[in-house]
A and B are shown apart, each in its own frame.
Chain A
Amino acid sequence: EADIYQTPRYLVIGTGKKITLECSQTMGHDKMYWYQQDPGMELHLIHYSYGVNSTEKGDLSSESTVSRIRTEHFPLTLESARPSHTSQYLCASSEPPAYEQYFGPGTRLTVT
């Protein structure tokens, strides 16, 4: 089934660890996005990609980095996790000419 997947769904990790949050979509969408969201709060765009080898920073400054080597895969990496990174991270994708974005289930990250 065409969908957008995120792993892990939940992650508890200690300060200073390097982590990678995975996002994959099977819809063939060119555009992909990462949002940061505290529970029930607004979504902040932290990274986006308009295609392979294209990545841009979003409106909210983030210490994370992303890569887009394959169309279907858009991982997010934190080199050194800190408690301030505790949040939910949502991945999304869209396909022009449509503007609709489809979201993954999210990764809830807790840094202790």
Chain B
Amino acid sequence: GENVEQHPSTLSVQEGDSAVIKCTYSDSASNYFPWYKQELGKRPQLIIDIRSNVGEKKDQRIAVTLNKTAKHFSLHITETQPEDSAVYFCALNSGGSNYKLTFGKGTLLTVNP
């Protein structure tokens, strides 16, 4: 399947700081890029996604940017809060009508009060 690399694997920030997680991919046909948040013991939940015809999307404190030329996309969380602590996964499809998603290895974000 499609390869996606996610960095960093762990990230620790102080409350109020910003956090950035980046994913790189190789298949230029990918056109859907979601981010999932998984709290301890809970199911993954979609928090934001972006499609290939858009460069940036924002939802309150969360934003995603996409650089199709460089084949990377990033999750930005501003004014972090302790409840943002979780594992975050990027994902992407393989392009066309392929509805399968390939997930990154995840980033454990810890927001220290």
Contact = CB atoms under 8 A, between A and B. Distances in A.
A45 B100 contact: yes
Interface residues of B, number: 23
B103 A105 contact: no
A104 B108 contact: no
Contacts, number: 51
A58 B99 CA distance: 12
Nearest to A50: B99
A51 to B, nearest CB: 11
Interface string B92-105: 01000101111111
Given A59-B1, A104-B43, A106-B43, A41 B100 contact: no
B44 A43 contact: yes
A94 B99 contact: yes
Contact of A42 (B93, B99, B100, B106): B106
Contact of A99 (B44, B93, B103, B108): B93
Given A40-B108, A42-B106, A99-B32, A105 B99 contact: no
Given A58-B100, A100-B49, A101-B34, 13 more contacts: A33-B100, A40-B106, A42-B104, A45-B101, A59-B1, A59-B100, A90-B43, A99-B49, A99-B101, A100-B34, A101-B101, A103-B44, A103-B45
Interface of A: 31, 33, 40-43, 45, 48, 50, 58-59, 90, 94, 96, 99-106
Interface of B: 1, 32, 34, 40, 42-46, 49, 87, 89, 93, 97, 99-106, 108
